[in-house]
Amino acid sequence: MAENDAEKHADTHSVPIGSLSAQRVGVHSTETNDPKKETTSRVLSEGIILVAITAAAYVATFAYEYGYAWQFNIPSELITVSIQNLVYF
């Protein structure tokens, strides 16, 4: 009876060989689970996110300073964006 239950359980969770799900579980996968590659990939993705946030803060600060300078007819060449501006913005 235990074998019968195991067979029923296996039949309810079978995956067609050619489907995308079969490739995800590693049936046809050639990828290796190398922790070094995963760490490198994670560091790169976090680095890209950090650069994107910094660039967005710089652009937002410059836009704010440009609008302020434009309001008072100050030439845009005099706008400087520094760390202090980024932090205070």
Contact criterion met (CB below 8 Å) for 48 and 39: no
Residue 74: partners with Cβ closer than 8 Å, 6 or more residues away: 68
Same domain for 51 and 78, yes or no, is yes
In the chain, alpha helices (H): 2-12, 20-24, 35-71, 83-88
Same domain for 25 and 44, yes or no, is no
pLDDT at 22: 47
Same domain for 43 and 82, yes or no, is yes
Same domain for 82 and 39, yes or no, is yes
Same domain for 19 and 40, yes or no, is no
Same domain for 43 and 66, yes or no, is yes
C-alpha 38, offset from chain centre: 14
pLDDT one digit per residue (tens) for the chain, 89 residues:
555 555 555 555 555 555 554 445 555 555 567 777 778 888 889 999 999 999 999 999 999 999 999 999 999 999 999 888 878 76
Same domain for 22 and 54, yes or no, is no
d(CA 4, CA 9): 9
